[in-house]
Structure 1
Amino acid sequence: MTAPIRNITIVGGGTAGWLAAALLNSLLREKRPQQDAIEITLIESPDIPTVGVGEATVPNMPRTLADCGISEAQFFRCCNSSFKLGVLFDHWNVDETGAPIRYVNPFDPPPPIDGVPLAAYYLKYGAGDLEFAQLFSPCLDLREEMRGPRPFRAGEYPRGPGFAYHLDAGKFAALLRETCVARGVHHVYDNLQELELSETGDVAALHLEKGGRHAVELVLDCTGFRGLIINQALGSEFLSYSKYLANDRAMAVQVPHLTDDIEPMTRSTALGAGWTWRVPLYNRVGTGYVYSSAHRTDEAARDEFMQWVGPAGEGLEPRVIPMRVGRNRQNWVRNCVAVGLSSGFIEPLESTAIHLVDMSVRQLITYFPDTSYPEPLRARYNRQMERLYDEVRDFICLHYALGNRTDSQYWIDARKELKVSDALAENLALWRHTLPQAGDLDSAVLFSPQVYHAVLLGKRVYDMGFKAENFAAGYALDEDRWWDFVARNRAKLAQFTNRAANHRHLLREIRGELMGRERRAVERGETVSVARAEAELADSSLL
């Protein structure tokens, strides 16, 4: 009888390593009594800095935190987190006059009307000055008033409009590390010097600088872009996505808030050779520029980026990060599973880095092996991860393929020179005549047909080139029913927005900093100076 796995070794820390450890410890060891004997060891080099994996997340993040046993209040306090209600895209497309278009990809799915996709009604009848997302999501209304996704006193992880989080990646890794160590994960600070392979080609042991030989059963490679085990030792081929996605560089800088307001949304603004991100945390704003080195030198990109940042970036120097964009052909080879940047990376346009770590670990738990590492388990895991990476790649490619800017060679090349997969090319041809449907997508783990609706309508492609005559085919559209829906839903969304708390004050309540007279004043809707309140809180702590 083949022996069960009793030891899991994770090589590399950061968000990928520690999130993998937290999920394995919680979902595999603690919640499966038969696996109680499993020991998890994370080996982290004290000399190699980690690349922060993402400061923005997707809507599965509340589930991830809950599965890791982390309270929302603890998460907000430790990681200076804030709420994310969607991604606001600016200047990715232009209208018929050449003016920049702004649209949002919200986290709320558009509901059908009597089985008819909301997008079909919207294309048929429009909605006046309302954007498509405003018909079913409060995110733009909440952003306009700088409110969060819930009222005060809502409790932990309440139901409501779709949301994710912004977070400090370094602090998040530290929180995960603290949580894991407290629950029995072994943490080793040491440098990997050599890998020992068995006669069958498995990783038999790691030779560490201080700790000597560390025997291995199942090993997770979380060594980042280097892929020390999966690529360098085991030879898994890395498949570049460079023919699909041109961006191969990023630069990042952290800037202060210039006002009390904290925007509850990630913002992506297209520049001349790529796009910028703006991720507002509780205490600062993370921002950066993702660009193509074929279209901008680092120096030219820096000048363009810092001009966009403006006064908030005065005196700051952005850090340049080369990106390895693509995925491994196989992310599980022999007894090694790659997780995080060693598994693959797709530019952070839709904040999928942490989600891909999460899904990698959940898939491993689903197909968890014994020490014979059955090939069918490996094959299915690799197939699932291939589909997931390709799903994310194709959704990102959609943003470029449907661009219409002509003011720089980068945007012309993005539309005309970059390849799209056969599946996406077929769908783009199809969607000129009908809306995306579930059967069109090979994988829809994260990006459903309704998310595609939001992007296609947000970019206004059906106003400029795509046909629209067949979108209502097979549906009986009732115009009175449509306008009744618009009126009722807008009233419902306005009512919710009026109840929602100011974003900064909501964060302070969750962090345990909004108390006493200030809390009562804020709940009455009175204007309270955040700077003054925080100063008074600091003074009171000295008494």
Structure 2
Amino acid sequence: MQDPHNKPIKRVVIAGGGTAGWLAASLMKKVLGKAVDITLVESEAIGTVGVGEATIPPIRLVNQVLGIDEAQFLHDTKATIKLAIRFENWKTKGESYYHTFGAPGKSMAFCHFHHYWVKARQQGLKADLWDFDLNYHAAEAGRFAQINAKDPVVELPFAYHFDASLYAQYLRKLSENMGVVRKEGKISRVQRFTDSGFIQALHLESGDVVEGDLFVDCTGFKGLLIEEALGAGYDDWSHLLPCDSAIAVPSERHEKTAPYTRSIAHDAGWQWRIPLQHRNGNGHVYSSRYISDDQACDTLLSNLDTKPLGDPKLIKFTTGRRRKQWYKNVVAVGLSSGFLEPLESTSIHLIQSAIVRLIQLFPHNGFAPSLESEYNKQSELEFEQIRDFLVLHYTVNERTDSAFFNDMRNITLPDSLAHKIALFKESGNLLREQNDLFLESSWLQVLYGQGITPKDYHGLVNSVPEVQLNQMLTRLLEIKKEPIAKLPTHDEYINGMVAKYKRAMS
């Protein structure tokens, strides 16, 4: 077989299934079409981590590209709507705030809405930041419907909670219908070319051999191709994000389904609570340096609202990223590329962005070093920006009751994050870095929610007379609240969409 270093790439082999593998297969086949043949190798005997059930709005773009019907998607994956994450006990015990997918107020020229709000608060305004956020009002009221409005002030951005294993099954069916070939079997050996070190083929325990030009590693934490075969290296970020364990367990669903994820801080980490149509997803992310696995399990089980539906599952991890996520003819996608705890529901997004990046930089005519370098440059920046946003939640806190949170207040921050915090604290300014996944409104909600109030506001605000400023804010409050009464409850919306699909299929 010819070394693929300088020849057209025609055969893509994906090692591993789950959400990462089947999302890679479906997106690449949909976009690249007949230009490549795609084979996915997976074994029914190997389980997946499968706890990533909360997403962020870009997942909707993926579904649209794949031509997924939303009603069918909601039915098949037991999905619900996500408008926000509610953070509880993060600043101090007993306090909570939302990070919504919306934006407080409205878009303003040259300086953001919150500068006007900061001045008004200094002059006695009682309305909180989230009073100007439609997503917040809808989340609190437990209501949702898609709003097709021309005015962005009343947009209601959303994502989904879904069963990750059912999503993978959905994507598998979609992929196979498009021509992706699934190969059942465990990988026993990875064969490499002697001269280049590129991977030539995967040898299965059955004796079958799967050859390829480009290999996508979706083998989870193990990194069978990118690390065990190629030794790409790993950047350990546990000094910034010391949580190294998680315990997950499903539980019975609530009678009323909330349209948001809950993130509940405990003494040595935090707990997620994700509502699905048929159950709740629950987990406790923690640092084993501060609490034992048994203690962490007890904390999780004693803080479930509903009866557990299975045995708790322990997951161990090291926060960080693969040093080269594209190395030679292997691209790592999903957990093989690195791990950032799911505090902001970025796990599935990182799968999605890795695949999109690979498609954009696809090596059609061979593996040019510049393509690999650019891919790794972009992925490194993306991981670092998300890392900084996660660290923000931990380091800006007022928890004096916890050794873990006390220590997190005193970690040495990356310069990029320290600068962003200082800039907001002193002037109220939020300057979004290029390609940052999180918009200014996201940074604003977490910074303010964690207790940082800017000392100053943009000077342009002073050009608006006080009476006019109060009138503008009063009218905005009315506009943001107005749609709520017209929206169905979240459960009514979900049940209506599922019923719509069933009618179409009958």
**Does TM, scored on the shorter chain, surpass 0.5?**
yes
**CA distance in 2 between partners of 1:502 and 1:445 (Å):** 33
- 1:362-392 alpha-carbon deviations (Å, 9 max, x no partner): 1111111135300000000000000000010
1:134, distance to aligned residue in structure 2 (A):
2.3
Shift in CA distance, 436/54, structure 1 to aligned 2, threshold 3 Å: farther
Instruction: Give the aligned partner of residue 88 of structure 2.
Output: 90
Paired residue type of 2:25: A
1:445, distance to aligned residue in structure 2 (A):
3.1
Instruction: Give the aligned partner of residue 130 of structure 2.
Output: 133
Instruction: Give the aligned partner of residue 521 of structure 1.
Output: none
| 1:218 equivalenced with 2:214 (yes/no) | yes
Instruction: Give the aligned partner of residue 482 of structure 2.
Output: 495
Task: Check the 8 A contact 1:124/1:472 in 2, yes or no.
Answer: no
1:82, distance to aligned residue in structure 2 (A):
0.5
Paired residue type of 1:426: H
Paired residue type of 2:418: A
**CA distance in 1 between partners of 2:55 and 2:217 (Å):** 22
1:116, distance to aligned residue in structure 2 (A):
3.0
Instruction: Give the aligned partner of residue 163 of structure 1.
Output: 158
**CA distance in 1 between partners of 2:303 and 2:349 (Å):** 29
Task: Check the 8 A contact 2:428/2:455 in 1, yes or no.
Answer: no
**CA distance in 1 between partners of 2:94 and 2:491 (Å):** 29
Instruction: Give the aligned partner of residue 476 of structure 1.
Output: 462
Q: What 5-or-longer segments of structure 2 have no aligned partner?
A: none
1:210, distance to aligned residue in structure 2 (A):
2.1
Instruction: Give the aligned partner of residue 374 of structure 1.
Output: 368
| 1:246 equivalenced with 2:242 (yes/no) | yes
Paired residue type of 1:355: H
**CA distance in 2 between partners of 1:206 and 1:371 (Å):** 22
**Of 222-231 and 137-146, the range deviating more from structure 2:** 137-146
Task: Check the 8 A contact 1:217/1:371 in 2, yes or no.
Answer: no
2:10 to 6, 23, 36: 6
Task: Check the 8 A contact 1:253/1:316 in 2, yes or no.
Answer: yes
Instruction: Give the aligned partner of residue 138 of structure 2.
Output: 142
Q: How does 1:79-478 map to 2 (within 5 A)?
A: 79-94=77-92, 100-110=94-104, 111-126=106-121, 128-135=125-132, 137-150=133-146, 160-199=155-194, 200-210=196-206, 212-259=208-255, 261-310=256-305, 312-313=306-307, 317-416=311-410, 418-438=411-431, 441=433, 443-462=434-453, 468-469=455-456, 471-478=457-464
- 1:226-263 alpha-carbon deviations (Å, 9 max, x no partner): 0000011101011111011011111111111242x110
User: CA RMSD for the aligned pairs?
Assistant: 2.2
**CA distance in 2 between partners of 1:220 and 1:395 (Å):** 28
- 1:9-34 alpha-carbon deviations (Å, 9 max, x no partner): 000000000001111011222xxxxx
SS of 1:355's equivalent in the other structure is helix
Q: How does 1:67-78 map to 2 (within 5 A)?
A: 67-78=65-76
**CA distance in 2 between partners of 1:40 and 1:230 (Å):** 19
1:55, distance to aligned residue in structure 2 (A):
0.3
**CA distance in 1 between partners of 2:47 and 2:138 (Å):** 37
Task: Check the 8 A contact 2:242/2:319 in 1, yes or no.
Answer: no
Percent of paired sites with the same residue: 34
Task: Check the 8 A contact 1:505/1:514 in 2, yes or no.
Answer: no
1:477, distance to aligned residue in structure 2 (A):
4.7
Paired residue type of 1:284: R
Paired residue type of 1:428: I
Normalised to the residue count of structure 1, the TM-score between the two structures is: 0.86
**CA distance in 1 between partners of 2:312 and 2:235 (Å):** 29
Paired residue type of 2:494: L
SS of 1:491's equivalent in the other structure is helix
Shift in CA distance, 314/437, structure 1 to aligned 2, threshold 3 Å: closer
Task: Check the 8 A contact 1:438/1:448 in 2, yes or no.
Answer: no
1:457, distance to aligned residue in structure 2 (A):
1.8
Q: What 5-or-longer segments of structure 1 have no aligned partner?
A: 30-35, 517-540
Shift in CA distance, 90/149, structure 1 to aligned 2, threshold 3 Å: farther
**CA distance in 1 between partners of 2:170 and 2:27 (Å):** 13
SS of 2:416's equivalent in the other structure is helix
1:115, distance to aligned residue in structure 2 (A):
3.6
Shift in CA distance, 18/103, structure 1 to aligned 2, threshold 3 Å: same
1:296, distance to aligned residue in structure 2 (A):
0.5
**CA distance in 2 between partners of 1:388 and 1:168 (Å):** 26
Shift in CA distance, 490/353, structure 1 to aligned 2, threshold 3 Å: same
Shift in CA distance, 315/112, structure 1 to aligned 2, threshold 3 Å: closer
**Of 447-456 and 471-480, the range deviating more from structure 2:** 471-480
- 1:384-429 alpha-carbon deviations (Å, 9 max, x no partner): 000000010000001111111010101101111x332121123223
**CA distance in 2 between partners of 1:28 and 1:434 (Å):** 47
**CA distance in 1 between partners of 2:28 and 2:209 (Å):** 24
Task: Check the 8 A contact 2:326/2:375 in 1, yes or no.
Answer: yes
**CA distance in 1 between partners of 2:108 and 2:470 (Å):** 11
Task: Check the 8 A contact 1:2/1:370 in 2, yes or no.
Answer: no
SS of 1:180's equivalent in the other structure is helix
SS of 2:111's equivalent in the other structure is coil
Task: Check the 8 A contact 1:83/1:264 in 2, yes or no.
Answer: yes
1:339, distance to aligned residue in structure 2 (A):
0.2
Task: Check the 8 A contact 1:206/1:214 in 2, yes or no.
Answer: yes
Shift in CA distance, 113/299, structure 1 to aligned 2, threshold 3 Å: same
When the two structures are aligned, how many residues end up with a matched partner?
Answer: 491
